[in-house]
Amino acid sequence: MGNLSTREAYGKSLAEFGKKYDFFVLDADLAKATQTLVFQKEFPNRFFNMGISEGDMMTTAAGMAACGKTVFASTFAMFAAGRAYEQIRNSIAYPNLHVIIGATHSGVLIGEDGASHQCIEDISLMRTIPNMTVIVPCDEKSVYAAVEAAICHDGPVYIRMGRLAAETVYQEKPEFAIGKGNVLKDGTDLTIAAVGDLVPEALKAAAVLEEKGVSTAVLDLACVKPIDEELIKKYARKTGKIITAEDHNVIGGLGSAVSEIIAQEGTARMQRVGIKDCFGRSGTRETLQDYFKLNVAGILEAYERL
């Protein structure tokens, strides 16, 4: 495992980019958990604790953005995408304001918090809102790239992050552009497209398949919306088989986004690895990863189904 979770990388990146860019950070009384307290210590005059009032935080962020400010609004994914959905939709996305929603503790792999806090529908909710950009970084370096891209972007952005330590995928800050994916490994027989915690699992599964003679490409589709249609079409034609992998409901997330493209093109067969339209459970990360098959074994099973 790497040293940092994506939420810890988020806090550090805010503090670092606060020296380069002029922006404000709002948090809904979870600064220690979301790690925005790192920014707070560096820039106390640009940080506001809005209390346990997520809807108010989003509308306040919208008001600041309407005055020309760049604003981060941070809380758990369940509270951001769930509790404050209406405010995000009508106050931020509808007027197309530059508010960056930093949502931590997403998916079931946050561990023992249980189903009430394990947000498995946030990608679906956010990507169906017009004007919204959705980014799911996989490790420390990709968080830095995503945060800077969001700062430089014009319009609302939802950045989805986890809770526990993230395995290192990128040794250096990757090239990141809104609407583009990264090819981590080329291949000709199969494509695995993944986001977040499932990116390192995809790389490990690809290594196993290579030993069996299956040339496997791995794509990091961190920008789920707008998604890199050309890259998906290219690898659909090239390999004819695609597996998507994500810590999210198989309905509405990365799997659905890729399926929509594949269905129109008719160029590949596809399987989705993710939460099979059920709520999460309380347990350790390792236990949940095995239970929901969000791992190498789950990806290999999907390949056998193909």
pLDDT at 115: 92
Band (206; pLDDT cuts 50, 70, 90): very high
Cis peptide before 95 (omega within 30 of 0): no
Band (259; pLDDT cuts 50, 70, 90): very high
Mean pLDDT of 150-168: 96
Q: Can you state the angle between helices 6-17 and 140-152, rounded to 10 degrees?
A: 50
128 pLDDT above the threshold of 60: yes
Angle in degrees, CA 246, 249, 250, rounded to 5: 75
pLDDT at 204: 98
pLDDT at 266: 82
Which residues, at least 6 apart from 206, have a Cβ–Cβ distance to it below 8 Å? 185, 187, 192, 216, 217, 218
Which tens digit of pLDDT belongs to each residue from 87-102? 999 999 999 999 999 9
* Domain chopping of the chain, boundaries: 6-160, 182-305
Mean pLDDT of 201-219: 98
Cα–Cα separations (whole angstroms), residue 283 to 146, 162, 242:
29, 15, 30
- The helix (run of H) or strand (run of E) holding residue 151 is helix 140-152
Band (10; pLDDT cuts 50, 70, 90): very high
pLDDT at 62: 98
Q: Are strands 190-194 and 133-135 parallel, antiparallel or unpaired?
A: unpaired
pLDDT at 267: 83
- Report the C-alpha gap between 113 and 183 in whole angstroms: 33
Mean pLDDT of the chain: 96
Instruction: Provide the phi-psi class of 98: left if phi over 0, else alpha when psi is between -120 and 50, else beta.
Output: beta
Mean pLDDT of 165-178: 92
Cβ distance 242 to 268 under 8 Å? yes
41 pLDDT above the threshold of 70: yes
Q: Are strands 269-275 and 241-249 parallel, antiparallel or unpaired?
A: parallel
Band (38; pLDDT cuts 50, 70, 90): very high
219 pLDDT above the threshold of 90: yes
2 pLDDT above the threshold of 60: no
Band (265; pLDDT cuts 50, 70, 90): confident
Q: Are strands 182-185 and 157-160 parallel, antiparallel or unpaired?
A: unpaired
From the candidates 8, 54, 201, 246, give the one annotated as an active-site residue: 54
How many CA within 13 A on the CB side of residue 108? 29
Mean pLDDT of 200-206: 98
Which residues, at least 6 apart from 14, have a Cβ–Cβ distance to it below 8 Å? 25, 36, 38, 39, 72, 102, 147
Which of 163, 144, 47, 179 has the alpha carbon at shortest distance from 105? 163
pLDDT at 271: 97
Query: Reading across the β-sheet that carries 47-49, which strands appear in turn?
Result: 47-49, 23-27, 70-76, 99-104, 157-160, 133-135, 223-225
Band (113; pLDDT cuts 50, 70, 90): confident
Mean pLDDT of 212-240: 97
Q: What is the pTM of this model?
A: 0.96
Residue 54 known to be catalytic: yes
The reply to whether 182-305 shares the fold of 6-160 is yes
Band (1; pLDDT cuts 50, 70, 90): very low
Select 182-305's CATH number: 3.40.50.300, 3.30.540.10, 3.40.50.920, 3.40.50.800: 3.40.50.920
3 pLDDT above the threshold of 50: yes
Q: What is the CA radius of gyration of the chain?
A: 18
Domain 6-160 in this protein, CATH class: alpha beta
